[in-house]
């Protein structure tokens, strides 16, 4: 009996074990099949989505390329139609500078990497930059233009670093094809605009030479490992890189520029999702273990939730303590605008009791006024369940319960609380700041008044000083004129009185001598009045081109009798440009300085005068000036008096030897013709006077 029972137990155990093995094998088979099916379905679905998204992204990059090429395609026409470009290509090199300047302006405005003009042989004749277009590029563009029918053609220079793309248009003149207008675009700019997306995109030419690689890790030597079938007649290419990563590859060929655009979608995430789906399916085969784990996990989560609830409660208590102690008024409103919480600082702002603060509409604390219009509109509309309420730093006028008003800085923002929408209002009393602003405003007004009064006082003092200077100048002029005219008048009176006696005595020879002296005195007086008349001349209405060399040589010839005892040195360039001026004024200005120098070296040992002319850039603008310097080794003037040498009636000569108008006339004449006169004391001896003339330029802007 016992043996039979043991055998029965063993048989039962064997049966159960066999059943367990069969069930296990069946379960494993079913789970394996389901895992494979789920993984294949998930992979196919994700690959289909990735393929559609990749097509959209590839189309976006292609559209970006098309847009950039379209935007820059018309640029060469802007230069091909310029007259100076056509004249330059016709052989007129005088338009070189204008063409270069135009190309530089267009290069800067279009944000390109260079503009060039090539002649019919493909060589650069004008450019916006210091480099030139490679000859092979020019020849390649010529060949394309020959078949384009006058349209813009493009080519890419892969040999350059960085890689450039060229847009070329033909330039025609009266004889036909004259050259090429060329705009150059740096393709790294296109690559930089794509880098923000951080995607695997690259561009190559028809021979597989890559010149754009956004991430810099594009696998240049891809190996197609499989063509995944996604549907009837629909498959995708899966490629593997040298480092073992798998990608979904999509590309499109742009036949008009000969570019192949590639877009790779990493399959790592797709494979991870498919693997995860298969793992989920595998997990279903161990339902009992999963249920046990679920129960254990549920228990753990319940414990964690209790801990979390306790932590949240402690955090809320701590937050309430922080809000109560803050120096800023805080109010929490429910979704309809009723007050849920008012911190102590806000209660102190408005003198609110606890009973008044509970459930009170907040808008009641802000009286209707222009300052509070925006805030009251928002607060009254909260009951309409509006979303996106946000006001920050709005200055309002608030009213306390006792009726007094004060300025506040108001802010409101929405936040979730207990599954419902609530609003946090921040209030800051800005009474002190407003008082400070008002005090500063009043101080600025007072300061402006003081500045205005002081300015008026200075203007009055300035006018009084000008009147005093005018009276002083009139006094000096009257004194000089009276003295200069009294001497010849006295001489005339004496000579005329003696002439009467000589007539009675018939002393005709002496009489002739007296009359000659009378003529001399009259000429002297006429010279004085002539100087006064010249000093009062009006500004010339029109300036003409003059040769400064000719004027200097003529003055030297006119004064040769006084220059015989003087060592004269001239440094005059025969190619000196013409100057702008009025002939009489220029000759008088230079003549006055020459006469002044002759008077200064009179009685000097080894008298020397140096006359030099040169071209220099103006201190005021970029135009050139002709500088004429007349240097002498005479007595000169003291350093303090150097500032007065061009004042009317100032002279270092003895009384009776001049009115002191010569240098004043020179300064006025130079100012009237757009020039300038200056003087300085030499380091060794004498003075140097300088005249600055404008350079005459022809209508096209070139100097003559």
Q: Quick check: helix, strand or coil at residue 23?
A: helix
Residues 260 and 396 placed together within one structural domain of the fold:
no
Residues 572 and 690 placed together within one structural domain of the fold:
yes
Percentage of residues in the chain with pLDDT exceeding 90? Answer: 3
Q: What pLDDT shows up at residue 655?
A: 46
Q: What pLDDT shows up at residue 54?
A: 81
Cα 55–chain centre separation: 39
Cβ(118)–Cβ(124) below 8 Å: yes
User: Considering the domain boundaries, does residue 361 fall inside one?
Assistant: yes
User: Considering the domain boundaries, does residue 305 fall inside one?
Assistant: no
Instruction: Check pLDDT > 60 for residue 473.
Output: no
In 10 A of CB 653, how many CB atoms?
Answer: 13
Residues 531 and 546 placed together within one structural domain of the fold:
no
Residues 543 and 626 placed together within one structural domain of the fold:
yes
* Confidence bin at 320 (pLDDT 50/70/90): low
Residues 330 and 434 placed together within one structural domain of the fold:
no
pLDDT in tens, 44-81: 778 788 888 888 888 888 888 888 888 888 888 888 88
Domain holding 420: CATH number?
3.30.450.20
Residues 405 and 447 placed together within one structural domain of the fold:
no
User: Considering the domain boundaries, does residue 209 fall inside one?
Assistant: yes
Q: What pLDDT shows up at residue 611?
A: 92
Q: What pLDDT shows up at residue 634?
A: 85
Residues 367 and 402 placed together within one structural domain of the fold:
yes
Q: What is the mean pLDDT of residues 131-150?
A: 79
Pick from 209-218, 240-249, 578-587, 618-627 the range whose average pLDDT is largest: 578-587
- List Cβ neighbours of 207 (8 Å cut-off, separation of 6 or more): none
User: Considering the domain boundaries, does residue 689 fall inside one?
Assistant: yes
* Confidence bin at 474 (pLDDT 50/70/90): low
Q: What is the mean pLDDT of residues 460-489?
A: 63
Residues 665 and 679 placed together within one structural domain of the fold:
yes
Q: What pLDDT shows up at residue 399?
A: 83
Pick from 8-17, 354-363, 438-447, 691-700 the range whose average pLDDT is largest: 438-447
Q: What is the mean pLDDT of the chain?
A: 78
* Confidence bin at 534 (pLDDT 50/70/90): low
- Give the closest residue to 657 by CA, choosing from 480, 500, 515, 404: 480
User: Considering the domain boundaries, does residue 244 fall inside one?
Assistant: yes
Rounding to the nearest 10 degrees, give the CA dihedral for residues 94, 100, 103, 105: -110
Instruction: Check pLDDT > 70 for residue 505.
Output: yes
pLDDT in tens, 618-654: 555 557 889 999 999 888 777 777 776 777 655 655 5
Instruction: Check pLDDT > 70 for residue 94.
Output: yes
Q: What pLDDT shows up at residue 629?
A: 92
Residues 531 and 582 placed together within one structural domain of the fold:
no
Select from 517, 536, 555 the last residue of a domain.
536
* Confidence bin at 610 (pLDDT 50/70/90): very high
Q: Which residue has the tokens 């060929």?
A: 253
Instruction: Check pLDDT > 60 for residue 537.
Output: no
Q: What is the mean pLDDT of residues 278-297?
A: 73
| Number of structural domains in the chain | 5
Cβ(538)–Cβ(577) below 8 Å: no
User: Considering the domain boundaries, does residue 221 fall inside one?
Assistant: yes
Select from 536, 558, 582 the last residue of a domain.
536
Q: What is the mean pLDDT of residues 137-164?
A: 81
Cβ(208)–Cβ(183) below 8 Å: no
Select from 505, 536, 567 the last residue of a domain.
536
What secondary structure does DSSP assign to 356-395, as a single string? HHTT-BGGGGS-SSSTTHHHHHHHHTGGGT-S--EEEEEE
Domain containing residue 526: 430-536
User: Which region among 286-290, 518-522, 590-594, 615-619 has the lowest average model confidence (pLDDT)?
Assistant: 286-290
Helix 508-535 to helix 431-505 angle, to the nearest 10 degrees?
A: 170
Q: Could you tell me whether strands 176-186 and 246-254 are parallel, antiparallel, or unpaired per DSSP bridges?
A: unpaired
User: Considering the domain boundaries, does residue 312 fall inside one?
Assistant: no
Percentage of residues in the chain with pLDDT exceeding 70? Answer: 82
Residues 215 and 235 placed together within one structural domain of the fold:
yes
Domain holding 565: CATH number?
3.30.565.10
User: Which region among 78-92, 501-515, 547-561, 615-629 has the lowest average model confidence (pLDDT)?
Assistant: 615-629
User: Considering the domain boundaries, does residue 161 fall inside one?
Assistant: yes
pLDDT in tens, 649-698: 556 555 445 555 667 778 888 888 888 888 888 888 888 999 999 888 87
Quote the pTM value: 0.38
Residues 84 and 104 placed together within one structural domain of the fold:
yes
Cβ(677)–Cβ(589) below 8 Å: yes
Length of the chain: 704
Q: Could you tell me whether strands 200-205 and 259-266 are parallel, antiparallel, or unpaired per DSSP bridges?
A: antiparallel
Residues 181, 184, 190, 191, CA torsion sign: positive
Residues 543 and 664 placed together within one structural domain of the fold:
yes
Q: What pLDDT shows up at residue 656?
A: 46
């Amino acid at each position: 009996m016992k043996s039979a029972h043991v055998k029965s137990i063993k048989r039962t155990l064997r049966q159960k074990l066999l059943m367990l093995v069969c069930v296990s094998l069946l379960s494993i088979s079913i789970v394996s099949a389901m895992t494979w099916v789920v993984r294949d379905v998930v992979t196919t679905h994700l690959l289909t989505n990735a393929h559609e998204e990749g097509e959209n992204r590839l189309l976006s990059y292609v559209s970006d390329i098309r847009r950039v090429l379209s935007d820059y395609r018309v640029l060469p026409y802007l230069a091909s139609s310029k007259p100076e470009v056509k004249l330059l290509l016709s052989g007129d090199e005088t338009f070189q500078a204008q063409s270069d300047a135009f190309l530089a302006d267009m290069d800067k405005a279009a944000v390109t990497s260079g503009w060039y003009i090539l002649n019919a042989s493909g060589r650069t004749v004008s450019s916006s930059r210091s480099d030139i277009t490679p000859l092979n590029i020019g020849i390649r563009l010529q060949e394309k233009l020959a078949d384009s029918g006058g349209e813009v053609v493009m080519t890419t220079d892969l040999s350059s670093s960085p890689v450039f793309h060229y847009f070329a248009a033909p330039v025609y003149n009266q004889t036909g094809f004259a050259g090429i207008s060329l705009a150059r675009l740096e393709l790294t700019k296109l690559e930089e605009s794509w880098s923000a997306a951080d995607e695997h995109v690259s561009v190559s030419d028809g021979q597989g030479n890559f010149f754009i690689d956004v991430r810099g890790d594009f696998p240049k030597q891809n190996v197609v490992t499989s063509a995944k079938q996604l549907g009837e007649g629909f498959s995708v290419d899966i490629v593997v890189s040298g480092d073992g990563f798998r990608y979904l590859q999509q590309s499109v060929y742009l036949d008009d520029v000969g570019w192949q655009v590639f877009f790779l979608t990493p399959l790592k995430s797709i494979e991870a999702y498919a693997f995860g789906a298969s793992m989920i399916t595998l997990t279903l085969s161990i339902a009992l273990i999963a249920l046990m784990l679920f129960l254990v996990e549920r228990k753990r989560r319940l414990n964690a939730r209790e801990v979390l609830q306790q932590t949240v409660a402690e955090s809320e208590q701590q937050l309430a303590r922080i809000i109560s102690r803050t120096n800023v008024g805080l109010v929490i409103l429910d979704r309809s605008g009723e007050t849920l919480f008012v911190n102590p600082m806000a209660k102190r702002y408005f003198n609110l009791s606890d009973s008044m603060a509970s459930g009170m509409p907040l808008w009641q604390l802000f009286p209707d006024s222009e300052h509070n219009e925006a805030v009251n509109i928002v607060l009254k509309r909260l009951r309409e369940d509006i979303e996106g309420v946000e006001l920050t730093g709005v200055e309002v006028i608030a009213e306390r319960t006792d009726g007094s008003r004060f300025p506040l800085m108001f802010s409101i923002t929405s936040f979730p609380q207990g599954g419902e929408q609530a609003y946090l209002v921040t209030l800051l009393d800005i009474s002190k700041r407003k008082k400070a602003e008002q005090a500063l405003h009043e101080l600025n007004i007072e300061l402006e008044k003081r500045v205005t009064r002081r300015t008026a006082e200075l203007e009055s003092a300035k006018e009084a000083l000008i009147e005093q200077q005018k009276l002083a100048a009139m006094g000096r002029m009257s004194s000089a004129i009276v003295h200069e005219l009294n001497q010849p008048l006295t001489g005339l009176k004496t000579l005329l009185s003696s002439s009467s006696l000589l007539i009675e005595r018939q002393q005709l020879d002496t009489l002739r001598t007296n009359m000659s002296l009378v003529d001399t005195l009259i000429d002297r007086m006429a010279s004085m009045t002539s100087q006064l008349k010249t000093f009062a001349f009006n500004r010339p209405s029109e300036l003409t081109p003059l040769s400064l060399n000719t004027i200097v040589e003529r003055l030297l010839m006119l004064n040769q009798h006084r220059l015989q005892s003087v060592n004269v040195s001239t440094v005059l360039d025969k190619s000196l440009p013409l100057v702008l001026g009025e002939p009489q004024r220029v000759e008088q200005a230079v003549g006055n300085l020459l006469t002044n120098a002759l008077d200064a070296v009179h009685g000097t040992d080894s008298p020397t005068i140096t006359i030099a002319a040169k071209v220099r850039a103006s201190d005021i603008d970029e135009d050139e000036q002709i500088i004429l310097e007349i240097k002498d080794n005479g007595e000169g003037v003291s350093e303090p008096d150097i500032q007065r040498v061009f004042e009317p009636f100032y002279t270092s000569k003895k009384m009776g030897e001049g009115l002191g108008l010569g240098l004043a006339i020179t300064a006025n004449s130079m100012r009237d013709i757009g020039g300038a006169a200056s003087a300085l004391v030499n380091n060794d001896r004498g003075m140097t006077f300088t005249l600055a003339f404008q350079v005459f330029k022809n209508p096209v802007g070139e100097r003559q």
